A and B are shown apart, each in its own frame.
Chain A
Amino acid sequence: RLGPRTPPTVKICRPTCTGGDASMNHIRQLEDQSVYILREAYKNFDNLAMLWSMGKDSTVLLWLARKAFFGHVPFPLLHVDTSFKIPEMIEYRDRLAREWRLNLIVGQNKKALAEGMNHTKGRVECCTALKTQGLKQLLEEKGYTGVILGVRSDEDSTRAKERYFSPRDKNNEWDFRDQPPELWDQYKLSFPPGTHIRIHPLLDWTEINIWEYIKLENIPFLDHLYLDQGTGKRYRSLGCAPCTTPIDSTSKNVDEVIIELRNTKVAERAGRAQDEGRGMEQLRKDGYM
């Protein structure tokens, strides 16, 4: 029920070998860049982890890691579980973790949950406690110095200003006023003790590119949520159940999603409540994904 069960059997080919699909050249270029970034991260960070939210972006990111490391995923995958996720997402997470032999680490801000944190206490507050703080606790506990995330420039205007390798200070904060220069595939690889680097291999991908790649590589995704199941609605972006609403759409397969996105004028995260007003700038400055 959750995307294709059998391993992908599609024949996919580079444009340089015969039968290649030249219309997918731009996607292969993005892939080459992301793979390069992932390999730089793996080479230069001793204590590296990747965030996986089971959404389409971080799942593409996970797939790219398998590309970069020839079927292996040589670092743990972190899931910051708010406990409010849609149940199918957890089922999907555990299935892929098994099939792809992933080292999955689940973190949760238990204290905030025990104290009854939820979205009714304020959306930004809830995100800060359960996601930002949950992530921070997990990073502190494990001492990761490099964290790979699937954020994309076209998601919102603060992400449009991110670097591929973006430092976070001791308090997890992002100093967007003074970001390091990044030139010619030379990234920020060294940093003072106590700080860490966020690594963003998907920065140049757009929402459409993500779907084009899912199709090209036949990546298993949460089709029940991302595609219209006959109700005239589908999720465009997945978050916590209370704060994510499906959009009106009759796209029943990936091709239809791509066509829909080419013609839409609605922002992707329009269904994500915490983005309202200046919410995202503050959240991201404080260490949100």
Chain B
Amino acid sequence: MTVTPAISKPNDTPQDNSIRERMNIVIVGHVDHGKSTLLGRLYADTGTLPTGKIEKIQAICKQQGKEFEYAFLFDAFLEEQQQGITIDTARTFFSWGGRQYIIIDAPGHKEFLKNMVSGAARAEAALLVIDALEGVRDQSKRHGLLLSMLGVKQVTVVVNKMDLVNYREDTFQAIEKEYREFLTQLNVIPQYVIPASAKQGINIIKSSQETPWYTGPSVLDSLAHFHLESKRAEQTLRLPIQDVYKFDARRILVGRITAGKLKIGDRLVFSPSNKSANIQTIEAFNLDPTPTQAEAGQSVGITLDEQIFVERGQIATHDDARPLVSTRIRANLFWLGGRPLETRRPYVLRLATREVPCEVATIHRIVDATNLDDRQTQTTVKRNEVADITLRTKSPIAFDLYAQFETTGRFVLVDEYDVAGGGIITELVQDDQEDFRTEARERDSAWVKGDVGAEDRAQHYGHRAAVVLLTGPDATAKGFLARKLETVLVAEGRHAYLLAPENLQRGLDADLVDTKPDEIIRRFGEVVRLLTDTGSLVISTTNALHEPTKHIVQTLQTLVNPIPVITIHMAKDLLGPQPDTDLIFAGPENFDDCTHQIIELLKSRGILAEPPSGRADFQYSI
């Protein structure tokens, strides 16, 4: 075993080896095509390994009667070394030419695809290794497809084990041609395709005579040609809100800017709530002077000039470039879950900082990674498959198309406790709320505000504005419970008001000659919106609204957004499937108890302060 002596680095003198930037690179490819060997070689030949590392591994190999492999250098676990496979991604560091590289060795076994994905999702560029003898294999293609979905656009292909094909140019060219064609279908253009032998150290750190026909860079030199992504700051602003802090007198909104820039004085609009306010300060600890602007990549804290309702999951932007909003999105999804993805199973969608229950409405097709063909329509997506799907979220989300904004254009799906899949958004699918949403957005941005804000009212009244909507079939005592709830709340000193939809018929709706269900709901929603703007708790029923309950609830949510709509379902019995509501009562006898339960629910949702009219510890916005 000969170890190439550490070549002298340009940074052997202390002045030269300071780091100016960092870059994450992932090494992917089919199992056994030589990823770990390439990595080990890169470290050994650049003299990056700690003293004694190679000797230590050589000693272990000798002890176990095995041949030394560069691949063993980074396989940490006993099991990995014994089986000679990489189970999980390892992150290793090395510095070269003013850059600090974090190199992620991703496993090539199909079984460990989720680990490969975890590694690649962090990377800015990829080295994809293909065995010259075996040629392009399943995982070579699957990894290529996943790289393109994960947003890794810079790829250099290493055709490894050239020693096994006697460094033949035609073998290399055949593989290069085949793989380039495959990548072209994914809109990926490899930066370089390099013939190499990791085991023999050919074209790894410098060009070698074995391949006189090859004039491109070595693997090491090719790294310098990967660019750091810096254009995100040039895009329009995206700041997904992560949290709202009130540790001291300041109410600080925090989050990481995923695109664009912001500065003090900017007017921000929050989606999907449509609330807006100006940036008053940018807060920071131990920075002097405090910043006046910030850009993509930074984790920031800002305060606003107005105490509007903002919560985690909303996306702050400038007014003229807002994100899309819908309850339906079309996406390309890769599934890593232990059990298959199914339509009509509950999942949680996480997009930037937003978390919302969702289900798969349609699975349009399964993409076969090995030939990029479509398989026919399926009702499930199995582990490690890629599919084109439409998702339906329980409430509207703000998002972007992946082609325009990376971070706000992708999401993960959580199945029970685990992140089980990832997707990129290809299309907005219009839902039946689109017109109402536009109306609410335009109405809110033209709204003339008084000096009393929602938070002032909440502090004063001891509760936030909210809507309590009683749903259910006729003759289930919805009206009775509604009246009782109003009475009890008012007796407690809350500003509650019962608005029966019937009350609009002869007045506001008197001009509606033919019954237009959507217009009736729209007007009702706008009246509720006005009442909630006074800070009131509005109680109502679905009586006289003549539309499916789900549609009424959604429309009301759209029109009063972001005021919460609490739904209480009054059922005749508990047989059969029940609607997805906040509370369900079936033929109740004790209405005092129902009222009590509703009030407790309002407290647990942070709508009613505790105790009644207890203003001191009431937290409106957190």
**Is A88 among interface residues, defined by CB-CB distance under 8 A?**
no
**Is B417 among interface residues, defined by CB-CB distance under 8 A?**
yes
Q: CA of A229 to CA of B297 in the docked complex: distance in angstroms?
A: 40
Q: CA of A11 to CA of B288 in the docked complex: distance in angstroms?
A: 5
Please encode chain B, from 258 to 296, with 1 for each CB lying within 8 Å of some chain A CB and 0 for all others: 000000000000000000000000011111110111110
**Is B252 among interface residues, defined by CB-CB distance under 8 A?**
yes
Known: A16-B294, A42-B243. A71 touches B285 (CB 8 A): yes
Binding site for A on B (CB under 8 A): 11-12, 14, 17-22, 47, 49-51, 53, 74-79, 87-93, 100, 102, 114-115, 117-118, 121, 150, 242-243, 245, 247-248, 250, 252, 254, 256, 283-289, 291-295, 297-299, 301, 312, 336, 350, 407, 410, 412, 414, 416-420, 422
On whether the beta carbons of B291 and A16 are closer than 8 Å, the reply is yes
Nearest residue, chain B, Cβ from A285:
B77
On whether the beta carbons of B92 and A160 are closer than 8 Å, the reply is yes
Known: A17-B293, A25-B20, A182-B419. A160 touches B286 (CB 8 A): no
Please encode chain A, from 1 to 34, with 1 for each CB lying within 8 Å of some chain B CB and 0 for all others: 0000000100111101100001101101111110
**A36 smallest CB distance to B (angstroms):** 5
Q: Which residues of A lie under 8 Å from residue B245 when comparing CB positions?
A: 69-70
Q: CA of A185 to CA of B298 in the docked complex: distance in angstroms?
A: 14
Nearest residue, chain A, Cβ from B6:
A265
CB interface residues, A 161-191, toward B, < 8 Å: 161, 163, 176-177, 179-188, 190-191
Please encode chain A, from 214 to 256, with 1 for each CB lying within 8 Å of some chain B CB and 0 for all others: 0001000000000000000000000000000000000000000
Q: Which residues of A lie under 8 Å from residue B419 when comparing CB positions?
A: 180-183, 186-188
CB interface residues, A 182-218, toward B, < 8 Å: 182-188, 190-192, 203-204, 206, 208, 217
On whether the beta carbons of B90 and A161 are closer than 8 Å, the reply is yes
Q: Which residues of B lie under 8 Å from residue A98 when comparing CB positions?
A: none
**Is A74 among interface residues, defined by CB-CB distance under 8 A?**
yes
**B9 smallest CB distance to A (angstroms):** 10
**Is A81 among interface residues, defined by CB-CB distance under 8 A?**
no
Q: CA of A256 to CA of B169 in the docked complex: distance in angstroms?
A: 50
Nearest residue, chain B, Cβ from A34:
B299
Q: CA of A2 to CA of B145 in the docked complex: distance in angstroms?
A: 54
On whether the beta carbons of B285 and A67 are closer than 8 Å, the reply is yes
**Is A35 among interface residues, defined by CB-CB distance under 8 A?**
yes
What are 28 pairs between A and B in contact, CB < 8 Å?
A8-B286, A12-B286, A12-B288, A13-B288, A14-B291, A16-B294, A25-B20, A26-B100, A31-B299, A66-B285, A68-B254, A69-B245, A70-B250, A70-B301, A153-B90, A160-B74, A176-B87, A177-B87, A179-B88, A184-B410, A186-B419, A188-B418, A190-B414, A191-B417, A204-B102, A263-B14, A265-B50, A266-B50
Q: CA of A191 to CA of B416 in the docked complex: distance in angstroms?
A: 9
Q: Which residues of B lie under 8 Å from residue A69 when comparing CB positions?
A: 245, 247
Give the residue of B14, B252, B285 whose beta carbon is less than 8 angstroms from that of A259: B14
Q: Which residues of A lie under 8 Å from residue B74 when comparing CB positions?
A: 157, 160
Q: Which residues of A lie under 8 Å from residue B92 when comparing CB positions?
A: 153-154, 160
Q: Which residues of B lie under 8 Å from residue A66 when comparing CB positions?
A: 285-286
Nearest residue, chain A, Cβ from B254:
A39
Q: Which residues of B lie under 8 Å from residue A111 when comparing CB positions?
A: none
**Is A158 among interface residues, defined by CB-CB distance under 8 A?**
yes
**A279 smallest CB distance to B (angstroms):** 12
- Which interface class (under 10, 10 to 19, 20 to 34, 35 or more) fits A? 35 or more
Q: Which residues of B lie under 8 Å from residue A121 when comparing CB positions?
A: none
On whether the beta carbons of A190 and B20 are closer than 8 Å, the reply is no
Nearest residue, chain A, Cβ from B301:
A70
On whether the beta carbons of B285 and A26 are closer than 8 Å, the reply is no
Give the residue of A22, A36, A153, A186 whose beta carbon is less than 8 angstroms from that of B91: A153
**B300 smallest CB distance to A (angstroms):** 9
Q: Which residues of A lie under 8 Å from residue B247 when comparing CB positions?
A: 69-72, 74
Q: Which residues of A lie under 8 Å from residue B287 when comparing CB positions?
A: 12-14
On whether the beta carbons of A17 and B118 are closer than 8 Å, the reply is no
On whether the beta carbons of A39 and B89 are closer than 8 Å, the reply is no
Give the residue of A26, A31, A157, A163 whose beta carbon is less than 8 angstroms from that of B19: A26
Binding site for B on A (CB under 8 A): 8, 11-14, 16-17, 22-23, 25-26, 28-33, 35-36, 39-40, 42-43, 66-72, 74, 153-154, 156-158, 160-161, 163, 176-177, 179-188, 190-192, 203-204, 206, 208, 217, 259, 262-263, 265-267, 270, 278, 281
On whether the beta carbons of B14 and A160 are closer than 8 Å, the reply is no
**B465 smallest CB distance to A (angstroms):** 25
**A40 smallest CB distance to B (angstroms):** 7
Q: Which residues of B lie under 8 Å from residue A161 when comparing CB positions?
A: 76-77, 88-91
Q: CA of A250 to CA of B497 in the docked complex: distance in angstroms?
A: 77
Q: For B79, B248, B289, B312, which residue has the most chain A Cβ atoms within 10 angstroms? A: B289
Kindly list 19 other residue pairs between chains A and B, CB separation below 8 angstroms, not including A26-B19, A69-B247, A259-B14: A8-B286, A11-B288, A26-B22, A36-B242, A43-B242, A43-B243, A71-B285, A157-B75, A160-B76, A160-B91, A161-B89, A161-B91, A176-B88, A179-B88, A188-B418, A190-B416, A206-B100, A263-B14, A281-B77
On whether the beta carbons of B22 and A186 are closer than 8 Å, the reply is no
Give the residue of B11, B19, B121 whose beta carbon is less than 8 angstroms from that of A183: B121
Q: CA of A40 to CA of B51 in the docked complex: distance in angstroms?
A: 38
Q: CA of A147 to CA of B11 in the docked complex: distance in angstroms?
A: 39
Known: A43-B242, A160-B91. A183 touches B117 (CB 8 A): yes
Q: CA of A278 to CA of B81 in the docked complex: distance in angstroms?
A: 12
**A152 smallest CB distance to B (angstroms):** 10
Q: Which residues of A lie under 8 Å from residue B256 when comparing CB positions?
A: 32, 36, 185
**B451 smallest CB distance to A (angstroms):** 28
On whether the beta carbons of A29 and B418 are closer than 8 Å, the reply is no
On whether the beta carbons of B291 and A157 are closer than 8 Å, the reply is no
Q: CA of A33 to CA of B90 in the docked complex: distance in angstroms?
A: 19
Q: CA of A206 to CA of B50 in the docked complex: distance in angstroms?
A: 14
Q: Which residues of B lie under 8 Å from residue A13 when comparing CB positions?
A: 287-289
**A159 smallest CB distance to B (angstroms):** 9
**A182 smallest CB distance to B (angstroms):** 5
Q: CA of A156 to CA of B74 in the docked complex: distance in angstroms?
A: 10
Nearest residue, chain A, Cβ from B416:
A190
On whether the beta carbons of B295 and A16 are closer than 8 Å, the reply is yes
Q: Which residues of A lie under 8 Å from residue B18 when comparing CB positions?
A: 23, 262
